[in-house]
Each structure stands twice: as structure tokens, then as C-alpha cells.
Chain A
């Protein structure tokens, strides 16, 4: 079966750094996504990892370890607008390109 775990909630302070962890057990692996979703809005793409290591994009970085079934999203220089739900999703491949999502981590950035 497919199982993706991430913390339900996190709180951090403006200007700080926060790391959101994700662990997964899936049948098949073709990559891991992080999406950001503000309340009432569509999920928006943040990052995609298919090989082990760190991918950096501005204030956001994402890390993957396939052998450990583990990823994290690192947010630096937090801003108030970063308050959102962060969704970890694994793509299991095949012709259907099925994305399996975690429940999301609700991040609250405090002033």
C-alpha cells in the first residue's frame, strides 16, 4: 500500500528557518513533490526530487533520501505569506502518473 507521513502542524517565527519532514512507504517510486496550498486555493508546485540529494530554489530547498524513504522541505528567511499547508506527494509511476499525497503540514508563521 501507500503511506505518507508528515507532521500535522508546525509553528515558526518570521525570519527563521523551518524544516518539514516527510516519510513514505510506497509501491514504486518515480519522484517526490512538495506543494504549497493556501487556504481555499489550489496547490502550487514547489519542488520535485527524483535523485538523492538537495535541490535548492531560492528560499526553499528540498532533500531526498530514497534508501530511507525520507524527504524534507527547508524554508529559510520565513515570511508571513509562507503560512500555508505544505503537501508531500509521491508519484508511483506507470502510465497513470498517480500522485499519492500526505495529509499536509499546516505551517503558521508568527511575527
Chain B
């Protein structure tokens, strides 16, 4: 595997389910990001992790819970989501002092 990978690529869940999105980067980066991309809207930054520490939480509801166990892996735990949370969730990584972020293919999430 190379670059940034995300699993699953597609996820359908009910509002009472609990699921997790996984991101893995194979680029030796030390910063990781979660973005949300809704239809017709700009990509929105959700969380930033530098060296496994969360440095940004852009007013994201608590039903989204990130976890970064090491600099190569990033998770987004989901529980009691709403239909409006349906979107493409993109993970990205970078070197901490670099401006260039590399994106994964995203997880297409549908909440019923």
C-alpha cells in the first residue's frame, strides 16, 4: 500500500449505530487531518493531529470522536449520527512543517 488509504470506502448506517472510519498513511508524515465534504459545499476541516496530539477541533459535534493511536493511523468513531451527516469523509496527512497535504480516497457515508 502506498499513500493514504481509507476504509471502508462506502458505509451505510442507521442513526443508532456505532461505526468507525479508518485512515492509514504510508508516507512517514506526522500530521493527520479529517475533512468533511458535503454536496455543493467546500471541504470542511474537522480535526487536526500533530504527533498524535489533537491540535484542532473545528466545533465538531461530539457524535464524531477522533482517535490517533500513532502517527500513521487515524480513526473517526461515529455514534448516533444524523442524516445531515451523510457526506464524503476525507483523511489527509502531511509533514508537520509542510503546507502540502496528501488526501486519501475518502469514505462515502450515508446515514439513514
Q: Is B45 part of the contact surface with A, judged by Cβ < 8 Å?
A: yes
* Interface-side segment among B14-22, B48-56, B64-72, B73-81: B48-56
Contact between chains at A99 and B45 (CB < 8 Å): yes
Q: Is A108 part of the contact surface with B, judged by Cβ < 8 Å?
A: no
Enumerate A83-98 residues with CB–CB distance to B below 8 Å: 87, 89, 91, 95-98
Provide the bound-state CA to CA distance between A96 and B4, in Å: 19
Q: Give 1 or 0 for each of A95-111: 1 = CB within 8 Å of chain B CB.
A: 11111111110000000
Contact between chains at B48 and A97 (CB < 8 Å): yes
Contact between chains at B42 and A102 (CB < 8 Å): yes
Check A41/B105 contact, CB under 8 A, given A99-B45, A103-B41.
yes
Using a CB–CB cutoff of 8 Å, the interface residues on chain B facing chain A are 4, 31, 40-45, 48, 50, 55-56, 90, 94, 96, 98-106, 108
